[in-house]
Copies of this chain bind each other. A is one copy, B any other.
Amino acid sequence: MNPNALLELLAQVQQGSLTPAAAADRLAHLPFEDLDFAKIDHHRPLRTGLPEVIFSAGKTPSQVADIFAHLAATGVAVLATRADQSHFAAVHAAIPAATYHATARTITFPSKNPPQSKGLIAVLCAGTSDIPVAEEAAVTCELFGTEVLRIHDVGVAGLQRILAQRERLRLADAVIVCAGMEGALPSVVGGLVAVPVIAVPTSVGYGASFAGATALLGMLNSCSPNVTVVNIDNGFGAAYVATLIARASTR
Contacts and interface: CB of A to CB of B under 8 A. Distances in A.
A233 interface: yes
Interface in A126-144: 126-129, 131
A128 to B, nearest CB: 5
Given A160-B41, A191-B158, A181 B222 contact: yes
Q: Chain copies in the assembly? A: 8
A223 B157 contact: yes
Given A44-B158, A48-B191, A128-B59, A163 B224 contact: no
Interface in A201-241: 201, 203-234, 236-238, 240-241
Contact of A187 (B157, B208, B224): B157
A10 B20 contact: yes
Contacts of A228: 198, 228-230, 237-238, 241
A248 interface: yes
A194 B48 contact: yes
A43 interface: yes
B233 A164 contact: no
A157 B215 CA distance: 17
A230 B218 CA distance: 11
A72 to B, nearest CB: 18
Given A184-B184, A191-B158, A251-B249, A167 B223 contact: no
Contact of A218 (B50, B157, B193, B217): B217
A241 to B, nearest CB: 5
Contact of A208 (B40, B195, B216, B244): B216
A149 interface: no
Interface in A63-97: 63, 82
Interface of A: 3, 6-7, 10-11, 13-14, 16, 19-21, 23-24, 27-32, 34-41, 43-44, 46-50, 53, 55, 57-59, 63, 82, 126-129, 131, 152-161, 163-164, 166-167, 170, 173, 181-184, 187-188, 190-196, 198, 201, 203-234, 236-238, 240-241, 244-245, 248-249, 251
Given A39-B153, A159-B191, 20 more contacts: A7-B20, A10-B24, A24-B34, A30-B160, A41-B160, A44-B158, A48-B194, A156-B184, A156-B187, A156-B188, A156-B224, A182-B223, A183-B218, A205-B221, A207-B232, A214-B220, A220-B230, A226-B240, A227-B237, A228-B237
